[in-house]
Amino acid sequence: MLAKDIREMTEADINAKIAELERERFNLRVRGGTQTLEDPLRIRVIRKDIARLNTILKEKIIGIAEANAPAKKPAARRVTGRRGRKRATAVHRSKKRA
């Protein structure tokens, strides 16, 4: 389940989906205790989907809009490596003297 699909859902739909996934998770846990599961990784997927749904539900309740915006990349450092540091300090020293 993708976050952008969840964001299009209403709060009631999200709560219903959480309840459905919790029920499925419970059934898989009970069945897993008595027999081998066909897809044991399904429990992990369900758990992560529930967490994703809860996170987006909290965002909707609080009213966070920044979560929808893509993150900006930090500016690249200009000074890298030994020579870059030497050159930067040499330039810095010459500016101090003047």
Task: Please state, in angstroms and rounded to a whole number, the distance separating the CA atoms of residues 36 and 18.
Answer: 25
pLDDT at 45 over 70: yes
The answer to whether 44 and 93 are in contact (CB under 8 A) is no
pLDDT of residue 93: 60
Distance CA(78)–CA(70), nearest Å, equals 24
**Is 84 a residue whose pLDDT tops 70?**
no
Question: 1-69 maps to which CATH number?
Answer: 1.10.287.310
How confident is residue 29, by pLDDT bands cut at 50, 70 and 90?
very high
For residue 70, pLDDT over 90 is answered with no
* Reported confidence tier of residue 1, pLDDT bands at 50, 70, 90: confident
Is the pLDDT reported for residue 80 higher than 70? no
